[in-house]
Structure 1
Amino acid sequence: MLADGIQLARAATEAALATEGVHSMGRGRYVEAATYEGSEKVSGVVVGAEDLEIHIVADYPLPRPIPEIAENIRERIAPQAGGRRTRVVVEDLEVAEDERL
């Protein structure tokens, strides 16, 4: 089933957060990464006519390489993305408390 706008942003958030290695959604570094519709805002996802951008914060230590995490997110959202090119942006790492860096 294809989704548009806010529905796609919600689905992308669910797909990302269900992926092993994703700690949370990112918010955008220099410009806010979000999709708006009416009074609703979904942070961490930018839905365009031809593109879908998903911003994440990954867990550290990483359970697997970042490219694999990104590909898994793309695979999960592909059925709803309507052929949009999907980019996964890793904004930051969330370091486990027991890691001494």
Structure 2
Amino acid sequence: MTRGRGRTAPRFDPVAPANPGVTRPRTAPDARRIAEVVVSCPGVAALTRGPFGTVATYLPGESVPGVCLRDEEVEIHVAVRYGRPIPEIVAEVREAVGPLSGDRRVDVTVDDVTDTEEAGR
């Protein structure tokens, strides 16, 4: 039995993109791999959880601190070593993570400058 004028509600298709004009890669970025690449960049001392301790990607049974995957961006928080210009370090991190981010923007925030490896822990 139909209600109204015989119209039915549009069917929900979970595979169809929310915005038909935007296409997304089929695979999501790998937060663990991004974290490995970030800490291997020269000048990066450590990943940090941000000023309120909330920057992380939560996976089953674990979390990846300092990397937050969002629909439109990859948010990365780092502590850098003293001695190199911060804009250079940030540019290197963006360049290294770019191929792993899919079509997402890469935002890098420097939370600390340190002369030790124990930054942000």
Question: TM-score surpassing 0.5?
Answer: yes
Determine the C-alpha separation between the residues in 1 that align with 2:104 and 2:40: 20
Q: Give every structure 1 segment of 4 or more consecutive aligned residues whose post-TM-superposition deviation is greater than 6 Å.
A: none
Counterpart AA for 1:16: V
Distance 2:34 2:78 in 1: 11
TM-score normalised by structure 1 residue count: 0.81
Structure 1: distance between partners of 2:40 and 2:98: 14
Which among 85, 89, 93 is matched to residue 69 of structure 1? 89
Within a 5 Å distance, the mapping from 1:10-89 to structure 2 comes to 10-60=32-82, 62=83, 64-89=84-109
Higher relative contact order (CA 8 A, sep 6+): 1
TM-score (norm 2): 0.68
- Structure with a larger share of its residues in strand: 1
Identical amino acids, percent of aligned pairs: 37
2: CA distance, partners of 1:3 / 1:26: 25
Instruction: Please report how far the alpha carbon of residue 83 of structure 1 lies from its aligned counterpart in structure 2 after TM superposition.
Output: 1.6
The structure carrying a bigger helix percent of its residues is: 1
Aligned pairs, number: 91
In structure 1, list runs of 5 or more residues that go unmatched: 97-101
C-alpha RMSD of matched pairs (Å): 1.7
Q: 1:31-73, CA deviations, whole angstroms, 9 ceiling, x for partnerless residues? A: 411001211200011100111011101111x2x2111111111
Greater Cα radius of gyration, structure 1 or 2? 2
Provide the C-alpha distance between the structure 2 equivalents of 1:20 and 1:31, rounded to a whole number of angstroms. Answer: 24
Q: Partners in 1 of 2:36 and 2:114 — Cα distance? A: 19
Q: Give 5+ residue unaligned stretches, structure 2.
A: 1-25, 117-121
